[in-house]
Amino acid sequence: MSYETLTYAVDDRVARITFNRPERMNAFNLKLCSEIMAAIAQADADPEVRVLLVTGAGGKAFSAGYDIKETASGGPKRGESGWRDRLGKDLKFCYSPWECSKPVIAVIDGFCLAGALEFAQMCDIRYCSDDSKFGVLETRFAAGIVTMVMPWILGPASRELIFTGDTIDAKEAERVGLVTRAYPKATLHDETLKIAKRMSRVAIECLTWNKRALNRGAEAMGFRTSLDIGFDACVQLDNSIAPEYQMFDKLRREKGLGEAIKWRDAQFAKYE
């Protein structure tokens, strides 16, 4: 299968899926989301694959999140009847690594923000480079969190990150447990491939049944119900059209995304 917005390769039982929109910091547009889901399904169905790696091209970003330039230029908008269905597609997308029967490892090199952080947290394991940055940036322009998975990973530590929208570095992400390990940038991909290949030596039955047990255990404790509640809150927040979002949206449509981000950052600069 050929792809337009990502590359796909298999090497010794390990499938590597690389988001390939570096000029947009690998932002998730509809095409990329669709192709990521297809690539994960392809690897899941391939008997020669036991472990999946997902990463971003360019060395600057795993992904900057959902492509808000795309949402500004077409499709349903916040407050419109089709918005819930639009967000539902994002939630389905984020579930794709969770629902893959095989281990999925997020290899994060650079920025991992907003919707990309949601996706990465739905992977089984996260490793990062020592210059990586993480943030729930949607908070800072009054947008909801489509996939409220962070409390399941960080527990109470998630509240500060969600309420402030602060960006944290690799050292802090490792300290709070957002990533399992941070590596020097130059060795990140070699080290994580070594782990993936070591993992792939485990019997496929062992990998898949252990993942099933881990996921079903979380779901028995209410994982999916919790994410459904978070999704409903996201839809309600987005449809409320907060004044902060109205200003951000007005600026990005009239003056461009750069001006909107400059305005947003200025609201927090005094207190950083």
Q: What backbone torsions phi and psi does residue 64 show, to the nearest 5 degrees?
A: -85, 5
CB 128 within 8 A of CB 188: yes
Q: pTM (2 decimals)?
A: 0.96
Instruction: Give SS3 for 168.
Output: strand
Residues shown for the chain: 272
6-186+200-241 maps to which CATH number?
3.90.226.10
Q: How far apart are CA 76 and CA 71, in angstroms?
A: 8
Q: How far apart are CA 152 and CA 138, in angstroms?
A: 19
Residues 6+ apart with CB under 8 A from 225: none
Catalytic residues, by residue number, are 118, 138
Tens of pLDDT along the chain (272 residues) come to 899 999 999 999 999 999 999 999 999 999 999 999 999 999 999 999 999 999 999 999 999 999 977 766 666 777 778 899 999 999 999 999 999 999 999 999 999 999 999 999 999 999 999 999 999 999 998 999 999 999 999 999 999 999 999 999 999 999 999 999 999 999 999 999 999 999 999 999 999 999 999 999 999 999 999 999 999 999 999 998 889 988 988 888 888 878 988 999 999 999 98
